[in-house]
Structure 1
Amino acid sequence: MIIAIGGGEIVDNETYEIDKFIVESAKKENPNFLFIPTASKDAEPYIETINDLYESLGCKTDTLYLSNVEVKSEEVNQKIERADIIYVGGGNTAYMMEVWKEYAVDKALIKANKSGKVLSGLSAGSICWFIAGHSDSEFIEGRENPKHKWVKGLGIIPYLHCPHYDEPERAGFDEFYSGQIADAIAIENQVAVVWDDYEMKVIKSNLLKNAYYLSWRDNGFNKKVLL
């Protein structure tokens, strides 16, 4: 099962109902929770916020550090194998995917999906499960004349993706998506799409927000609210 969260401020409990659902989905008393904060370059305040939240929800927490450290591939695999829940944090998607390839985290997460673990994440941690996502990596990197770009994900969920769909800087996504062959899932903040063996449902911590299914057909651009 994959729980892809469009966005939301964790420190303000904006995703709390979704976080509770993630923990319940493990169907264990005190599940092992692994946070992968690569996209934020292992930012310690972020790690503390996530671990405090998930400990309060009954998890035993651990963190997979991959930035600015030497990590052995055995340690990477052991941490992923030990986890009941894996949560991927937000940040720079392009940077994250490059680091993951270096440590074969991409392969380990595809294997984790096949073994039935609960996989989850927000923003970059949502994009990673799709074919590719609408990324603001160039803005985060401080590039001159930055543009949004597609960043390739793991392809477990067979759609393109836009997180933070209700934020102003994502307003151009519909046009950006123009003419794509693959259909897309756009998720607003405080909303998550649950992908379970090719079935999709939506959960919300704010009932006023939505997720959308986008497609291009012969009749042009189509958009519908996902339920």
Structure 2
Amino acid sequence: MTAAEPTILATSGGMVASRRLRWEFGPLTDYAVELAGVTGRAPRVCFLATAMGDNAEQIRGFYDAAGQAGFVPSHLALFPMPNVEDPRELLLGQDVIWVLGGSVAGLLAMWRLHRLEPVMREAWQAGVVLTGVSAGSICWHSGGTTDSFGPDLRPVTDGLALVPFSNGVHYDSEPQRRPAFHSLIGDGTLAAGYATEDGVGVLYRGDRFVEAVTEREGKSAYFVSRSPDGAVTEQPLDTRLLRAP
């Protein structure tokens, strides 16, 4: 079965260091799979590395990590052409769609070029859990901060807007992220939104925020909004620690 209602787990994590592999899945990814409600079989997880130009090493790393985790892996690549005949069929047949970070501007452009924007919405509405890290978090929102255009952060304002919020990622590890997110919400470029420190995710059911969760102890999420007088408020959120299985 898939999730009972449209579900997004938008994160600044889900990948953790591994002694034997390039990387492995962390508790955030395990939680995304749990949200899909799979019973009696291995969960089907599809990997999209489009934001990294479908980097072959990252795709190989995903298959290694998925094998260790017991997932049934697949991937959708768009460079130099789609690797499957029917991307819609592939995506709608998944329990979880897992999107890697990189260039969110490039990711959105390629998805739209290949007419995947309505497919992502269809998958979301069908209960396929949407998750990912960094660009793979911002993409589900109305917009966010990005280094897609260069080292100085700029806004992206044409996300898929499955949820009506903006998104800030790597909120504690990249010095530009917090002030840029505040500034862009303060001047109205971005809608109010949720920000995640590294290792943290925010869960949405439909277009409603449900909870913040973390795979790293002591890390948090925040809701950042603008008051009518233009002041920006940052509200720390209760953030539940996920335990490794």
TM superposition score normalised by structure 1: 0.89
What SS does the corresponding residue of 2:156 show, helix, strand or coil? Answer: strand
**Does residue 226 of the first structure (1) align with residue 240 of the second (2)?**
no
Q: Is the 8 A contact 1:190 1:206 kept in 2?
A: yes
Q: Which runs of 5+ in 1 are unaligned?
A: 141-145
What SS does the corresponding residue of 1:168 show, helix, strand or coil? Answer: coil
Q: Which runs of 5+ in 2 are unaligned?
A: 1-6, 239-245
Give the corresponding residue for 1:164.
170
What SS does the corresponding residue of 1:158 show, helix, strand or coil? Answer: coil
State the distance in 1 between where 2:171 and 2:116 align: 27
Correspondent of 2:70 among 33, 51, 58 = 58
State the distance in 2 between where 1:52 and 1:129 align: 26
State the distance in 2 between where 1:162 and 1:101 align: 22
Per-residue deviation, residues 140-191 of structure 1 (Å, max 9, x unmatched): 7xxxxx5422242110111011111112231422223323272111111100
State the distance in 2 between where 1:47 and 1:37 align: 7
Per-residue deviation, residues 181-224 of structure 1 (Å, max 9, x unmatched): 72111111100001113242111111211110010013511111
How do 1:9-88 residues align onto structure 2 when only pairs under 5 Å count? 10-12=16-18, 16-28=26-38, 29-70=41-82, 75-88=86-99
Q: Is the 8 A contact 1:10 1:50 kept in 2?
A: no
Amino acid at match of 1:210: S
Q: Is the 8 A contact 1:162 1:185 kept in 2?
A: yes
Give the corresponding residue for 1:122.
133
TM superposition score normalised by structure 2: 0.83
State the distance in 2 between where 1:92 and 1:108 align: 20
**Does residue 5 of the first structure (1) align with residue 11 of the second (2)?**
yes
Q: Is the 8 A contact 1:14 1:205 kept in 2?
A: no
CA RMSD in angstroms, aligned pairs only:
2.0
Q: Is the 8 A contact 1:183 1:215 kept in 2?
A: yes
**Does residue 201 of the first structure (1) align with residue 207 of the second (2)?**
no
Shift of 1:40: 0.4
Amino acid at match of 1:218: P
Give the corresponding residue for 1:176.
184
Per-residue deviation, residues 33-89 of structure 1 (Å, max 9, x unmatched): 1111100000112112223223322210001010222567x5111111111110111
Q: Is the 8 A contact 1:133 1:152 kept in 2?
A: no
Alpha carbons of 1:6 and 1:137: their partners in 2 closer, same or farther (altered >3 Å)?
A: same
Matched positions, count: 221
